[in-house]
Amino acid sequence: MGNKINTNELLIKNGRVIDPLNNIDSVCDVLIEEGRICYVGKVQKQMPEDKVIEASGKIVCPGFIDMHVHFREPGDEEEETIRSGSHAAVAGGYTSVVCMPNTDPTIQDETSIEFVHRMGRQTRKTHVYAMGALTKDRKGVELSEMGLMAGAGAAGFTDDGTGVQDASVMRKALKYASMFGLVVSQHCQDSSLSGNGVINAGFNSMLLGLPGMSPLAEELMLWRDIQLNKSIRAKYHAQHISTKGSVDIIRKAKQEGIPVTCEVTPHHLLLNEQTVAEYDTNYKMNPPLRTDEDNAALKEAVKDGIIDALITDHAPHLQSEKELEFLYAPFGIIGLESALPLFGKALIEDGIIDWPELVAMLTCKPAEILGIDETKGSFTKGKWGDITIFDPEEKWQIDVNKFFSKARNCPFHGWDVKGKVCYTIVGGEVRYSSERD
């Protein structure tokens, strides 16, 4: 070491250290040197006071990774920017996020991928990745320049916001993407069935007199993609799955050894068409909230290890647009700053799983899908010192007015929850602390 001043040195003491990849769940210390994980265990080393975090009673785990967020830059900076979204991310415990390409213009070339990375680096909050469009202008007709985007560091490809409707285009997309070893993330939705629907097709859509979206719109495309991928064996990932039928399809595919991974949001676990406040557009999102039977099936899927990643699908929109009539308001809700306690409520408080399983779906599992597991997602020595420290017992009330996000479209405002992020550390640097917020 000599007399070199190492600013990114940190010792986190006495926390419940959970590192699912390495099967660690014990009360001990984590030492970071030169911004990287150096040692997990009992550390005797004397450190300056400002380099020590006392974490007794708290959970210390690899930094959370959200593989599905919308930061609206370029083009809709009034809704969210990479800067404001990154602040929201660290406040929620996220040390890596992946931006979706449904921006204006679409993220579909090297320059745009590099732009997102650069803005993320300059903000110095969370690591910011981007997926590129799977097809040109997300139109589902011609393939995008995947090779160039892969070269620029794209985290995968997706037309999120819409699914690729044409089966032969999807087959080509899977084949082409597999050459780069990157994930293809599909927003599974057959638009001939979802049509102009705005909520789940069923009792509630009839009651409210609103056009419905059939669960089959999701399930048919998911089933089709899995059949296509049987022989191609690309990295195929189903985004924000919402129905029991989707769970059954993925369960079967996994049993048959067909490559498929999937993700679920807090809202599809906790809310359903019965909990929708009438005509409140904070309950309008895509896919729509389904039924309590679907909530139960998704939780069961988590328990059985069918769900690979927990994501927020953080989708900021202007209040003025969300105030439009239900039929015309945009789809989507924000989620980064409320995700942890909501996942806790849905999965831990209900006794479905314990923290190590939950942490895995926020860390090593998404890291593997994204192919960033060489540097992130666990406490293996040499990985980046990306760490989330949270108090699993701290009670608080969700208040959208305290969010760092520019947006306020969140149906969980006012909810009493448990589980609060205390520190978010990136590369050994404290990028968020609840004491300073």
Ligand X SMILES: NC(=O)N[C@@H](CC(=O)O)C(=O)O
Instruction: Report if residue 377 touches ligand X, rule: CB under 6 A.
Output: no
Least distance in Å: CB of 174 to ligand X? Answer: 20
Q: How far is the C-alpha of 252 from the C-alpha of 244, rounded, in Å?
A: 12
How open is the CA angle 277-279-284, to the nearest 5 degrees? 85
**Which option in ligand X, Zn ion, none does residue 212 bind, with CB closer than 5 to 8 A by kind?**
none
Three-state SS for 97?
strand
Chain residues 135-174 in contact with ligand X, contact rule CB under 6 A: 160-161
**Among residues 89, 173, 258, 315, the one that binds ligand X under rule CB under 6 A:** 315
Residue 185: CB atoms within 10 Å: 31
Which of ligand X, Zn ion, none does residue 431 bind to, with CB < 5 to 8 Å depending on kind? none
Burial of 231 (0-12, 13-18, 19+ CB in 10 A): exposed
What is the Cα–Cα distance from 101 to 90, expressed in whole angstroms?
21
Closer residue to ligand X (CB): 338 or 424: 338
* Residues near ligand X (CB under 6 A), total: 11
Print the binding letters for residues 133-172 with Zn ion: x by CB under 5 A, - otherwise: ---------------------------x------------
Instruction: Please tell me whether residue 131 binds ligand X under the rule CB under 6 A.
Output: no
313 labelled catalytic: yes
Tokens in use for 346?
Answer: 């849905």
406 touches ligand X by CB under 6 A? no
Give the residue from 60, 24, 30, 26 showing the smallest Cα distance to 43: 30
User: Based on CB atoms, which residue is closest to ligand X, 98 or 389?
Assistant: 98
187 is an interface residue for Zn ion by CB under 5 A? yes
Nearer to ligand X, 342 or 389 (CB): 342
> Minimum distance between the CB of residue 375 and Zn ion, rounded to whole angstroms?
25
- With CB under 5 A as the rule, give the number of residues binding Zn ion: 3
Pairing mode, if any, of strands 94-99 and 36-41?
unpaired
CA-to-CA distance for 33 and 289, rounded, in angstroms?
A: 45
Alpha helices per DSSP H over 161-283:
167-178, 191-194, 203-208, 215-232, 244-255, 266-270
Known binding-site residues for Zn(2+) equal 68, 70, 160, 187, 240, 313
The catalytic residue positions are 313
Contact set with Zn ion (CB under 5 A): 160, 187, 313
